[in-house]
Each structure stands twice: as structure tokens, then as C-alpha cells.
């Protein structure tokens, strides 16, 4: 039998380190050849690491959430044959703590702790004087309308101490509250053991959740964006009554054969047409090199909520797609992100991002720019409101567009003109089909 060390492979693209996201094996497990042993995350994607050999897991080289350099030892296996580690080689620091307690418990069961006899003096030291309630007695809330028994002096002192008598345990005859009961209740912190509905019970639990994996990448990305980009936001109200009527008509005529349309393909088309007038917004800014790169093609980032967190897959060349092709493309890249099957190149290279919270979109928002882009447009929910049209009060379907821009690259006037151009296209949807 030999020892085989599996190391973090070179994933390419100049990646020097990865983050360990998930272990698929534990010490003592048998591993088959090509079986996935762990998932690691780079800046762009999550990658599975398979085992090149079959064997038994001896130790794990890192814990979930650790950042590991490429080439570092990941797993150590016991294999048939010589393996790739010499017997006299220095062992790498590995995490065996997960199984050490188990093996120790099996081989060397801990001796039972000797029982300490209670001295009579300890028993005698318990409070026995009348008027002092045991400190271990729970403070039980009396039923509603039940009047606690207490003398006027006790009631006045409880009022001065800020204690509610219905929660104080009485040690006197028939549950009468004595002066010592107030002292014991105050010394215990005045805590209440409620007997009412469970929903009103005090809760004191805490849960520490490590920020690892995709959530850590999202946090780093958002922090970098807000630290490096001076954001400014712009919100505009849009009348989408005619747009929704057109969408409903197109779905009625072609929904069965071409698929149903959401509002996103219309917004994407409006962005494509408006960006032709404002190419400085369809851009990426390399602030370290001091270079703004403008793009002729619109590579649309589609903010997508997944189980692991927010991801931004890319719909490439949105300018070349009609409404139904755009709808299919958005659905495809979003599903790839949610299922974790999106390729690395599908998660990078966007030039502007479209984000939507759907029915939860609220009235307005302040979206965070997807660095190194210079703009993001957010969709809020549609609301029917009364409006004046031709001197008449009529119900109209309204929706806000919430956008953010990089003020280093985009001037406020140009940002407003860009959103107004989108507004004109969306409020007159026939213009979306005019080149």
C-alpha cells in the first residue's frame, strides 16, 4: 500500500488560488477513480475536482472556506501500489480532527467522571429562612386577572424597583410575595418564564454563519464595487399601459408557438436602441489603467437570484436578437446560473446589467453597479395608479426604472437622457420595432 496526495490542479486563466466550497468525501471513505472529491470556487466559476486514482481517504488538507494555493495538497489517499509520496517524506499539515475524536472514543473509552459527594455543609447552606425564595425557582407569569398576594409595603417597593409582581415567585403562605422574593427576583435579573403562547416566549439563541463560497465572492464583489465606483442613482416613472397591452396581444397570438414574453425582452430591446445614442454607457472602466472601453455589441448581464446567491450570467450580442430570441436567451442563461451548469465565459464579459426583482421590485431601488461596468438598470414592480389624461382621471399602469451610473465616466445629464430615451421607447412600444 502507498500514499497518494491529490493536489489543487492548475485551472488556467492565471488563477493562483481557489476557495474550498464543499467536501464530497470524509476521512475513511473509499473513493473511486474520477469520483468528485471536492468543489472549489474561482473568481468566475465553481469547479469540481475529481480523484485520478481509487483509494481510501486518509486526511483532508483544508477546511471548507479556506483559500488554497494551486499546487497545494488537497487530499491524501491510501492506494494500491507505491503512490506518489515517499514513506519518509514530511507529511503535509492535514485536517484529521474530524475523525480523531471518533477513533479515540472507539479505542479508548473515557473513564467515567468520579461522582463528587455532596457535603452536608453544602446542603445546610441552602437558604432556609422565611421570606427568602430559592434562587432556582422560576419566575412564572400568573394568569390574566389573577391578583398576586403581597402587602402594601411589598407592592410599593416593587413599584420603586420597577418589578411587575405578576412575574415574581411568592414563597410565603398561599403564594404570598415577601420582601425576600423581590430581592431574589431582582438578583436573577427579573427574567420571566412566560406561560402564554409560544410565539411570545423570549428567544436567546445565536447562530454564527461563516461567509464562504459564492456568498463570499458576492460580498467581495459588492464591496469592491462600492469602494471603487462613485455611484449616483436616477429613478424615472414610466407608463407601461400600452407596452403591457402589446405584450398580452403577442402572447395571445404567438405564445403557443414562440413562447411567452415577459417584460424583460422589451426592456432589453429598449436598452439596445438607447445605447446607440449613448455609447459611453455601454462600457467597462479599467480604473487602474485609466482606460474606458466602449463596445459596439451589447453583452447584457442578467442579474439572477440562485440558491447560493446573486449571479450575473451574460446574454451576448443582445442587439442581434428579436423579442422571442432575447426571451429564450435570458431564460437560458438564468437557468444555467441557477443549476450551476453555466460555463465560465457565460459569467463574465457583460457591458451593462439589467436587474429585476419581479413582483417584489418595490417602488424604487438603488442597484449596485457590476464592476467594471459603468451602469446598471433595475426594474421595479408595475402599479396601477390614477393619472390625468386629456383632463380625465384614468387608471394607468406605471413602473419605475431605477438606475445607477459610474460618475467618473457618465455625467448626470447623459444618464438622464439615456433613461428618457428608454422611457420614450417603452411608452410608445411600436418604436421598438423601427430601425
Residues 229-265: tens digit of each pLDDT: 999 999 999 999 999 999 999 999 999 999 999 999 9
Domain with CATH 3.30.559.10 in the chain: 231-433
106 three-class SS: helix
Which residue from 18, 106, 95, 22 is spatially nearest to 59, judged by alpha carbons? Answer: 95
Which residue from 53, 59, 61 is spatially nearest to 7, judged by alpha carbons? Answer: 61
pLDDT band of residue 13 (cuts 50, 70, 90) is: low
* Segment 347-399, tens digit of pLDDT: 889 999 999 876 677 888 999 999 999 999 999 999 999 999 889 999 999 99
Which residue from 285, 294, 246 is spatially nearest to 269, judged by alpha carbons? Answer: 246
CATH topology of domain 2-106: OB fold (Dihydrolipoamide Acetyltransferase, E2P) (2.40.50)
266 pLDDT above the threshold of 90: yes
Question: 379 φ, ψ to 5°?
Answer: -105, 130
Q: Give the other-Cβ count within 10 Å of 61's Cβ.
A: 21
- How many percent of the chain have pLDDT more than 70? 81
* CATH superfamily name and code, 231-433: Chloramphenicol acetyltransferase-like domain (3.30.559.10)
Which residue from 426, 293, 306, 265 is spatially nearest to 351, judged by alpha carbons? Answer: 293
* Segment 296-333, tens digit of pLDDT: 999 999 999 888 788 899 999 999 999 999 999 999 99
Report cis status (omega within 30 of 0) of the bond before 53: no
Could you give the residue numbers annotated as active site?
407, 411
Domain with CATH 4.10.320.10 in the chain: 129-195
Query: How far apart are alpha carbons 68 and 95 in whole angstroms?
Result: 14
* Segment 56-104, tens digit of pLDDT: 999 998 888 888 888 889 999 989 888 887 654 554 554 543 433 333 3
- What pLDDT does 360 receive? 73
- CB neighbour class for 62 (10 Å; exposed up to 12, middle 13-18, buried from 19): buried
Q: What is the mean pLDDT of residues 261-273?
A: 96
CATH architecture of the domain 129-195 equals: Irregular (4.10)
14 close to 44: Cβ distance less than 8 angstroms: no
140 three-class SS: strand
H helix or E strand, kind and range, residue 286: strand 283-286
- What pLDDT does 120 receive? 41
List the grid coordinates of 129: 429562612
Q: Give the other-Cβ count within 10 Å of 218's Cβ.
A: 16
272 three-class SS: helix
Per the document, the length of the chain is 435
- How many percent of the chain have pLDDT more than 90? 46
- What pLDDT does 124 receive? 39
265 close to 276: Cβ distance less than 8 angstroms: no
Q: Looking at 125-129, 158-162, 182-186, 313-317, which range is the least confident one?
A: 125-129
288 sits in the region (left: phi over 0; alpha: psi -120 to 50; else beta) called alpha
Amino acid at each position: 500500500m502507498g500514499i497518494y496526495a491529490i493536489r489543487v490542479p492548475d485551472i488556467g486563466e492565471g488563477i493562483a488560488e481557489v476557495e474550498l466550497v464543499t467536501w464530497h468525501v470524509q476521512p475513511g471513505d473509499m473513493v473511486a477513480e474520477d469520483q468528485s472529491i471536492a468543489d472549489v470556487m474561482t473568481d468566475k466559476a465553481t469547479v469540481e475536482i475529481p480523484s485520478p486514482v481509487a483509494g481510501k481517504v486518509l486526511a483532508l488538507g483544508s477546511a471548507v472556506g479556506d483559500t488554497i494555493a494551486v499546487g497545494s495538497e488537497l487530499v491524501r489517499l491510501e492506494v494500491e501500489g507505491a503512490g506518489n509520496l515517499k514513506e519518509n517524506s514530511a507529511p503535509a499539515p492535514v485536517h484529521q480532527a474530524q475523525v480523531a475524536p471518533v477513533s479515540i472514543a472507539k479505542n479508548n473509552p473515557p473513564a467515567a467522571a468520579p461522582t463528587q459527594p455532596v457535603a452536608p455543609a453544602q446542603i445546610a447552606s441552602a437558604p432556609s429562612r422565611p421570606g427568602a425564595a430559592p434562587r432556582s425557582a422560576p419566575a412564572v407569569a400568573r394568569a390574566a386577572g389573577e391578583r398576586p398576594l403581597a402587602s402594601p409595603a411589598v407592592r410599593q417597593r416593587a413599584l420603586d424597583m420597577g418589578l411587575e409582581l405578576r412575574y415574581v415567585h411568592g414563597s410565603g403562605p398561599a403564594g404570598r410575595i415577601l420582601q425576600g422574593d423581590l430581592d431574589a427576583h431582582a438578583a436573577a435579573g427579573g427574567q420571566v418564564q412566560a406561560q402564554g403562547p409560544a410565539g411570545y416566549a423570549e428567544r436567546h439563541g445565536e447562530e454564527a454563519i461563516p461567509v464562504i463560497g459564492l456568498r463570499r465572492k458576492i460580498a467581495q464583489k459588492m464591496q469592491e464595487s462600492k469602494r471603487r465606483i462613485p455611484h449616483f442613482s436616477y429613478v424615472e416613472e414610466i407608463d407601461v399601459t400600452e407596452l403591457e397591452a402589446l405584450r398580452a396581444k403577442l402572447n395571445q397570438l404567438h405564445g403557443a408557438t414562440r413562447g411567452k414574453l415577459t417584460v424583460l425582452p422589451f426592456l432589453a430591446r429598449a436598452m439596445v436602441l438607447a445605447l446607440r445614442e449613448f455609447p459611453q454607457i455601454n462600457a467597462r472602466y479599467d480604473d487602474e489603467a485609466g482606460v474606458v472601453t466602449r463596445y459596439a455589441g451589447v453583452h447584457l448581464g442578467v442579474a439572477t437570484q440562485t440558491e447560493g446567491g446573486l449571479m450575473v450570467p451574460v446574454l451576448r450580442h443582445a442587439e442581434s436578437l428579436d423579442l422571442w430570441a432575447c426571451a429564450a436567451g435570458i431564460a437560458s442563461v438564468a437557468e444555467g446560473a441557477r443549476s450551476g451548469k453555466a460555463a465560465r465565459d457565460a459569467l463574465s464579459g457583460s457591458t451593462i446589467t439589467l436587474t429585476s426583482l419581479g413582483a417584489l421590485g418595490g417602488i424604487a431601488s438603488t442597484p449596485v453597479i457590476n464592476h467594471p461596468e459603468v451602469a446598471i438598470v433595475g426594474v421595479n414592480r408595475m402599479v396601477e395608479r390614477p393619472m390625468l389624461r386629456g383632463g380625465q382621471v384614468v387608471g394607468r399602469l406605471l413602473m419605475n426604472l431605477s438606475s445607477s451610473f459610474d460618475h467618473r465616466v457618465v455625467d448626470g445629464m447623459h444618464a438622464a437622457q439615456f433613461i428618457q430615451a428608454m422611457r420614450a421607447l417603452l411608452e410608445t412600444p411600436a418604436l421598438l420595432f423601427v430601425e
